[in-house]
Structure 1
Amino acid sequence: MADKKAYLNRLSRMEGQLRGIGKMVEEDRACPDVVTQLMAVRAAMDKVIHLMVTENLLSCVQDQEAQDPSVSLDEALKLLFKSKS
């Protein structure tokens, strides 16, 4: 992982958010407030997943490109984003 510290910081923030959500549940806070916080944690988790997968993809393609110059990073990214459409 290129930026391990950044990932760990993001994960620590999510951990704190989850503890806060646990407190909200203990205090019988309103459901919409709890759900809003849960959605924020989910969005943060999705962002970490996206960053890690992207980093891994780039690394794999660059390694493959070094072995076979016909492999293009641009082509791999086009395929990735085309598959998400």
Structure 2
Amino acid sequence: MEKREVVVSITDNGPGISEDIQSRIFDPFFTTKPIGKGTGLGMSISYQIVTEVHNGSIQCISQPNQGTTFNIKLPQKYNRVIPQ
């Protein structure tokens, strides 16, 4: 059976994220903000929800001065459209 997934890509045209920061971006309590301005939990919690709750993946693709893309891949659980 073919593995089906839903992919959500979020892209910006900002300054990008260095490789050093990319390697730690999903670590709990990691932040680039000054002390008292951030908890460093947002990306870590997002990673846990995507990977542990939904069995998906999240990836950061970025180069300095070229923007950043986050790809979120989630397994598709339904093969039909559910009417709303």
TM-score between the two structures when normalised by the length of structure 1 = 0.31
**Does 1 or 2 have the higher relative contact order (CA < 8 Å, sep 6+)?**
2
- Decide which structure has the larger Cα Rg and report it: 1
Higher helix share: 1
Higher strand share: 2
TM-score between the two structures when normalised by the length of structure 2 = 0.31
